[in-house]
Amino acid sequence: MTQFDVVIVGGGLVGSSLACALRQLPLRVALIESTPARAPNLPGLDERVIALSLGSRRIFGGLGVWPTIAPVAEPIVRVHVSERGHCGFTRLDRHEADAEALGYVTPARALELALQDALEQAPQFQALRPAQLLDHRVFADRVECTLQHGDTRQQLSTRLLVAADGGDSGVRERLGLAVTEHEYNQDAVITTVQAAHPRVGHAFERFTDSGPLAMLPMPGGRYSVVWTCQPSETTALLALSDAEFIARLQTRFGWRLGQLREPSPRQAYPLRLKLVRETVHQRVVLIGNAAHTLHPVAGQGFNLGLRDVAALADALADAAQHGSDPGAPNTLASYAQWRGRDQLTTAYLTDTLARLFVVPWRPVRIARNLGLLGVDFIPTARQRLARRFMGLDGALPRLARGLPLDVHHA
């Protein structure tokens, strides 16, 4: 039976980021992923993009991969938040936050390739793909895993099993964990468009009666569109011609960016909240969407998962420094202390925003518009809100400060 110190289930961006972080440590690490490695190719303008918070950018800096990503990352220097058809608005600016940017809009493919390239250089890392974890059994000193690796059934043992296998996590299901779930009765329609008058580095979050509409800046004057709508609207939006879709989007968003054109192929995803309150168990940790699947409002989901990565890597680095067991209770307790509050606070914050801004009652509408204006008028409120969404609140692990794991805590 092959033995590892850490086995990560799920090779998406969160799982691969953790593997990339652990390559700096004297640990034997394996990653189990159901899809084969993708052939390298350059990201295109119309590929899926991710809004990275400044804290996430620093994490990729600590991983040593940001120089590869930076050339295709568009800085967000200002965010304009408003409610369609009403007077409330708030503006967040990088200068008030005393930062080079509030965040960055980055092609997901660029992140994948940067992580893949870094992992290919890691001597104690092994990628098992395409492979599927069929079962796992937890013992006092190890977790034994059974997986299908290509055409071969394989057994391996690990001192710590990390579930990064997404919102429909098989590890979570086998553990029988209780999950707080809420269906938003909303879909996210994703596309990109070209703006006639782009505002470099300006992002927009516009709340509408069917949910938020986000416009995120990309290189070359394109914008990533995340249009939250009711499921009854989704089929129609996907079926529209490009010209009809642009006309509908222009009506919904307005003319702040001039004429919109050239929409990329549209995709739609159902939106739901999934939250596991206890993400740490005997020799098993859940991170990323396996622990918390969030509404995309304010773009917190992936960034929250990356903060999981930074905190878990920090706890494992301390354990490795002292020769401790990576799956021991005190190691995992250190991780839980880092993460519990942030996970719950961020989940409930995004859930509140997603629910609050679709309530049509006049008193609620007036209150939320006054709230937006109040934040805009009070610099300290704007700064606190910006730091929250930038992932810079509270004590930060090393990677979240842009530091490698071999730097001792100050």
Note the pLDDT tens digit of each residue in 6-25. Answer: 999 999 999 999 999 999 89
pLDDT at residue 369, as a whole number: 60
Tokens of 26: 């004297």
What is the value of pTM for the model shown?
A: 0.92
pLDDT at residue 148, as a whole number: 96
* β-strands 152-163, 284-286 pairing: parallel
Residue 344 CA to residue 360 CA, distance in Å, equals: 27
pLDDT at residue 361, as a whole number: 58
pLDDT at residue 251, as a whole number: 93
Instruction: Name which of 330, 381, 410 is nearest 96 in CA terms.
Output: 381
Listing DSSP states for 101-170 in one string gives -SEEEEEHHHHHHHHHHHHHT-TTEEEE-SEEEEEEEE-SS-EEEEEEETTEEEEEEEEEEEE---TT-H
pLDDT at residue 236, as a whole number: 94
- Angle at CA 139, nearest 5°, toward 136 and 140? 150
**Residue 301: CB partners within 8 Å, gap ≥ 6?**
289, 292, 293, 294, 295, 350
Residue 33 CA to residue 35 CA, distance in Å, equals: 6
- Angle at CA 42, nearest 5°, toward 37 and 48? 80
Q: What's the one-letter identity of residue 174? A: R
Is residue 203 within 8 A of residue 56, CB to CB? The reply is no
pLDDT at residue 381, as a whole number: 73
Which residues make beta-bridge pairs with 127?
31
Is residue 302 within 8 A of residue 60, CB to CB? The reply is no
Is residue 346 within 8 A of residue 304, CB to CB? The reply is yes
Place of tokens 């086998």: 174
DSSP reduced 3-state for 23:
coil
Is residue 196 within 8 A of residue 258, CB to CB? The reply is yes
Residue 284 CA to residue 274 CA, distance in Å, equals: 19
**Residue 179: CB partners within 8 Å, gap ≥ 6?**
172, 274, 275, 276
Alpha helix (H) residue ranges in 183-241: 231-239
pLDDT digits (tens, 9 = 90+) for 209-257: 888 999 999 999 999 999 999 999 999 999 999 999 999 999 999 999 9
pLDDT at residue 27, as a whole number: 96
Residue 165 CA to residue 162 CA, distance in Å, equals: 9
Residue 346 CA to residue 392 CA, distance in Å, equals: 13
Q: What's the one-letter identity of residue 22? A: L
pLDDT at residue 39, as a whole number: 47
Which residues make beta-bridge pairs with 135?
146
Q: What is the pLDDT along the chain (410 residues), one digit of tens a residue?
A: 799 999 999 999 999 999 999 998 999 999 999 988 764 444 444 468 999 999 999 999 999 999 999 999 999 999 998 888 777 788 888 888 788 999 999 999 999 999 999 999 888 899 999 999 999 999 999 999 999 998 899 999 999 999 999 999 999 999 999 999 999 999 999 999 999 999 999 999 998 888 899 999 999 999 999 999 999 999 999 999 999 999 999 999 999 999 999 999 999 999 999 999 899 999 999 999 999 999 998 889 999 999 999 999 999 999 999 999 999 999 999 999 888 788 888 988 888 888 877 777 566 666 666 666 666 667 777 777 777 788 888 788 999 999 988 766 55
* Residue 404 exposure: Cα atoms within 13 Å on the Cβ side: 9
Residue 375 CA to residue 139 CA, distance in Å, equals: 51
Is residue 382 within 8 A of residue 96, CB to CB? The reply is yes
Residue 153 CA to residue 234 CA, distance in Å, equals: 41
Instruction: Name which of 53, 100, 51 is nearest 77 in CA terms.
Output: 100
Which domains are delineated in the chain? 2-74+103-181+272-401 (3.50.50.60), 184-271 (3.30.9.10)
Listing DSSP states for 272-325 in one string gives EEEE-S--EETTEEE-GGGTEE---GGG-HHHHHHHHHHHHHHHHHHHHHTT--
